[in-house]
Amino acid sequence: MQERAIFAGFGGQGVMSMGKLLTYAGMIEGKEVSWLPSYGPEMRGGTANCHVTVSDAPIGSPIITNDATCLIAMNLPSLLKFESDVVAGGIIFVNSSLIDNKVSRDDVHAYYVPANEIANELGNLKVANMVMLGAYLKAMHPVKEGSVIETFHKLFTGAKEKLIPMNEEALKRGADCIVIA
């Protein structure tokens, strides 16, 4: 198994954190992982993205070009920019709260997740990324959900500990969006 995911959105949507959580959870499971962020001026208010690889075998290149198994697009520029980087048969997750467009390719599968709406229902727009991650984990299961929960407990400590229940709930609500036929 080798999962090569691109997480993309604008700054502040928590796309780096989504990638880090997946990477961390993969490490907990003893898998080979890498997380490669975009960096520099494009981070300042522009699009942010990270490339995450989770693999059973040692990882060659940590860069994902034209061979993403999946794309998580949190805003429209991200969908337009990275849509073509997904392999045929790959999966694209679209944040339908902010993206009206449909995926233009017919050789990939698309899931539309109203991440912002669900996050608002939960009372915190900031967990939109976790809604999306929940949907992604349910559909692709590159790591077990339990590993992600374990990661929450490792990363959210001290004052942040109280954020865990809401993040867990966000994962669950995202997962509920995915109906696998």
Q: Does 39 bind other proteins (CB under 8 A)?
A: yes
Find the angle CA(92)-CA(112)-CA(1) to the nearest 5 degrees: 35
Q: Are 108 and 91 in contact (CB under 8 A)?
A: yes
Q: Which residue in the set 17, 27, 76, 81 belongs to the binding site for other proteins (CB under 8 A)? A: 27
Question: Does 149 contact other proteins by CB under 8 A?
Answer: no
Residue number with CB closer to other proteins (43 or 76): 43
Question: Quick check: 35 binds other proteins (CB under 8 A)?
Answer: yes
* Residue in 59, 87, 125, 166 binding other proteins, rule: CB under 8 A: 59
Name residue 94's beta-bridge partners: 73, 112
Q: Is 62 in the site for other proteins (CB under 8 A)?
A: yes
Question: Does residue 84 bind other proteins (CB under 8 A)?
Answer: no
Q: Is 25 helix (H, G, I), strand (E, B) or coil?
A: helix
For residues 135 and 70, what is the distance between their CA atoms, to the nearest angstrom? 12
Question: Which residues, 6+ apart, have CB-to-CB distance to 34 below 8 Å?
Answer: 23, 51, 52, 53, 59, 62
46 counts as binding other proteins under rule CB under 8 A: no
- Residues engaged in binding other proteins (CB under 8 A): 20, 23-24, 27, 33-37, 39-41, 59-63, 65-66
